[in-house]
Structure 1
Amino acid sequence: MSKIIRIGTRDSELALWQATTVQNQLGDLGYDSTLIPIKSTGDQVLDKPLYELGITGIFTKTLDVAMLKGQIDIAVHSMKDVPTQLPKGIVQAAVLERAVTEDILVHKGLDFLNNEVPATIATGSLRRKAQWLNKYPNHNVVDLRGNVNTRLIKLIENDWQGAIFAKAGLERIKLLPKDVLHLDWMVPAPAQGAMLVVAMDNDEFSREALQKLNHSNSELATRIERDFLRTLEGGCTAPIGALAHMENENVQFKGVLFSLDGRQKLQIEKTVSLASAKELGQKCAKEILQKGGDKLMEEIRNENSALH
């Protein structure tokens, strides 16, 4: 092929695994490429929870800048980290076939779930924190930041009972313990388990190459979930979960919005035909907003602004 595609990626083990996966798939199609690892702000600032940093796309912004400066041609992201509004000039070029979507608890024994003694669970996610506190209101949830490897080490070093992870991330770099607790009751982040590749809008060569990697069902499911997120969010970080699932010719969708402390929960579930799924995420979000979600989002905005 006539061009070597420069693949921008974060430099964590998981991010490099994802970028290498894209590189290998491009190579199978005859495209030459090279990896360009870049450290993101989200990886550098580990002493504050993500929501306190107040930056949209903290894990993607550094790669966006590199792309806009012409230092890289494409960038590979965990799709759940990507803001629903991409920077001007950058477009979604491919969603790879999605991995498992569920959250898991890596733990040191589960006796704490059967008694009333307050336990401590670690996560850097508002969504996971709110859902855990909704189910276990007597537990304490502490902030946990860093890449997957760093978070696993912190769990070992601290006297926490467990920490919550996305199963897909641990599986990809072969760090999934055998005795994890599968949190099938926890609604994942929109687009969890999916990998997104972005490119410049005017880069026809890279876009054409990446289109060949696109998985249409994964693209549709993640679009529905991200439409739900965008319509609810309005630029605010909130505990929002969403999952769209294809079953025969139907799409099953589940979406949730929680208060920051997990006490309030608004939920919606719908099944529609594939033909009528285009605006499903947006419609479900509007229903949530009408059922009290608008007031809850306002409360979350006020709490978040107080934190900053």
Structure 2
Amino acid sequence: MKQKTIRIGTRDSELALWQAKTVEKQLNDLGCKTEIVAVKSQGDIILDKPLYELGITGIFTKTLDIALLQHEIDIAVHSMKDVPTALPHHIVQVAVLERANTKDILVYKEGLDFLNNEGTIATGSLRRQAQWLHKYPQHNVVDLRGNVNTRLQKLNDSNWNGAVFAAAGLERLNLKPQTNIELDWMIPAPAQGAMVVVAHVDNIEIVDTVSQLNHIETEICTHIERQFLRTLEGGCTAPIGAIASYNEQEDVIIFTGVLLSIDGKQKIEVEKKVAVSEWKKLGFNTAQEILNNGGTELMANIKKQLKK
């Protein structure tokens, strides 16, 4: 195994390459030879439309999926929150790395006085938009696309008051400005802050080797969050947030999930604390609770709005 070079597929953005190099280092530490293969995804090329308008599930992962299926790469590294909840046939999740910061942050430009008045906030995420408008209905939210560096530059060049980012991305690239605050009230995207490695199911040697990088606690928590997302049938675009964490002292999983209308006016939230032995159906059960509590109608309305 050690003699074969593992080809690591990644998008070519700075953050994606950082993630691939992190996996590469861990594999090198196991004694593996590696090579990074960078490709451009449609999500990186088409920047003039909001993600939900592109209508493709896995816009950032599709190119790498094809490369894996054609055996042009051996593994692919993704931000787990970009990965569709149902993986393509013949592609399997091999390892989830230990999670980084799960929080969203607001990067602001000239103070925070606007929070109590009118203001304009930028984000390309329906989840962030809906939660922001729920809390600040007097604000205007505008679309913001591109990689981390591009989005920071667009904020800098604009007349917006601020933009919402995942803390993990800015921290990994050492780009977090001083002018930021943590949005501890905002429920993150399912699997936010986690990196996942996938491989071709037939590549048994690779699967065995790379699975040594798996962090079980992160795997369980992200599984719960993604199961919640899948049960609500959100894909990557509906305003759905979910966060699970393990409390070692009590040996319990604490979970919060939320579904909102696109305008932020409706919000259905669920919170649960269960014994760690009950984790396998937690995402499913909490999503059912939301669906039974008005979520079925809300999801139908969201899908209708997104089709317009």
What corresponds to 2:240 in structure 1? 240
What corresponds to 2:279 in structure 1? 277
The whole-number CA distance in structure 1 between the counterparts of 2:234 and 2:151 is 30
Aligned pairs, number: 304
The whole-number CA distance in structure 2 between the counterparts of 1:150 and 1:206 is 35
Kindly indicate whether residue 218 of structure 2 is the aligned counterpart of residue 224 of structure 1: no
Kindly indicate whether residue 139 of structure 2 is the aligned counterpart of residue 139 of structure 1: yes
Assess, with a 3 A threshold, how the Cα gap between structure 1 residues 127 and 235 changes in structure 2: closer, same or farther: closer
Q: Deviations over 1:125-164 (max 9, x none)?
A: 0000000000000100000000000000000001000000
What corresponds to 1:185 in structure 2? 185
Assess, with a 3 A threshold, how the Cα gap between structure 1 residues 236 and 3 changes in structure 2: closer, same or farther: closer
Residue pair 2:240, 2:259 contacting (<8 A) in 1 also: yes
The whole-number CA distance in structure 1 between the counterparts of 2:161 and 2:277 is 45
Residue pair 1:187, 1:256 contacting (<8 A) in 2 also: yes
Assess, with a 3 A threshold, how the Cα gap between structure 1 residues 222 and 236 changes in structure 2: closer, same or farther: closer
What corresponds to 1:206 in structure 2? 206
Kindly indicate whether residue 59 of structure 2 is the aligned counterpart of residue 58 of structure 1: yes
Assess, with a 3 A threshold, how the Cα gap between structure 1 residues 21 and 236 changes in structure 2: closer, same or farther: closer
The whole-number CA distance in structure 1 between the counterparts of 2:235 and 2:171 is 31
Structure 2 runs not aligned, ≥5 long: none
Report the alpha carbon displacement of residue 205 of structure 1 after superposing the two structures with TM: 1.4
The whole-number CA distance in structure 2 between the counterparts of 1:153 and 1:101 is 23
Report the alpha carbon displacement of residue 175 of structure 1 after superposing the two structures with TM: 0.2
The whole-number CA distance in structure 2 between the counterparts of 1:280 and 1:235 is 19
The secondary structure found in structure 2 opposite 1:131 is helix
The whole-number CA distance in structure 2 between the counterparts of 1:277 and 1:220 is 7
What corresponds to 1:150 in structure 2? 150
Q: RMSD between aligned alpha carbons? A: 0.9
Report the alpha carbon displacement of residue 191 of structure 1 after superposing the two structures with TM: 0.1
Assess, with a 3 A threshold, how the Cα gap between structure 1 residues 182 and 235 changes in structure 2: closer, same or farther: closer
Report the alpha carbon displacement of residue 235 of structure 1 after superposing the two structures with TM: 4.6
Q: Deviations over 1:150-199 (max 9, x none)?
A: 00000000100000000000000100112311100000000000000000
- Residue identity opposite 2:35 in structure 1: T
The whole-number CA distance in structure 2 between the counterparts of 1:16 and 1:158 is 27
Report the alpha carbon displacement of residue 236 of structure 1 after superposing the two structures with TM: 7.4
Instruction: Give matches, 1:58-97, under 5 Å.
Output: 58-97=59-98
The whole-number CA distance in structure 2 between the counterparts of 1:219 and 1:14 is 21
- Residue identity opposite 2:7 in structure 1: R
Find 1:265's aligned residue among 264, 267, 270. 267
Query: Which segment drifts farther, 235-244 or 54-63?
Result: 235-244
Query: Which segment drifts farther, 172-181 or 211-220?
Result: 172-181
Residue pair 1:236, 1:301 contacting (<8 A) in 2 also: no
- Residue identity opposite 1:198 in structure 2: V
What corresponds to 2:99 in structure 1? 98
- Residue identity opposite 2:190 in structure 1: P
- Residue identity opposite 2:60 in structure 1: F
Kindly indicate whether residue 177 of structure 2 is the aligned counterpart of residue 169 of structure 1: no
So what's the TM-score if we normalise by structure 2?
A: 0.97
So what's the TM-score if we normalise by structure 1?
A: 0.97
Q: Deviations over 1:223-282 (max 9, x none)?
A: 000000000026573100000010021000000000010000000000000111110000
- Residue identity opposite 1:2 in structure 2: Q
Q: Deviations over 1:95-125 (max 9, x none)?
A: 00000100000001211113x3x21100000
Report the alpha carbon displacement of residue 70 of structure 1 after superposing the two structures with TM: 1.1
Q: Deviations over 1:3-42 (max 9, x none)?
A: 1000000001000000000000000000111000000000
Query: Which segment drifts farther, 226-235 or 3-12?
Result: 226-235
The whole-number CA distance in structure 2 between the counterparts of 1:216 and 1:104 is 26
- Residue identity opposite 1:295 in structure 2: E
Residue pair 1:91, 1:199 contacting (<8 A) in 2 also: yes
What corresponds to 2:255 in structure 1? 253
What corresponds to 2:122 in structure 1? 122
The secondary structure found in structure 2 opposite 1:298 is helix
Kindly indicate whether residue 16 of structure 2 is the aligned counterpart of residue 38 of structure 1: no
Residue pair 2:125, 2:237 contacting (<8 A) in 1 also: no
The secondary structure found in structure 2 opposite 1:251 is strand
The secondary structure found in structure 1 opposite 2:146 is coil
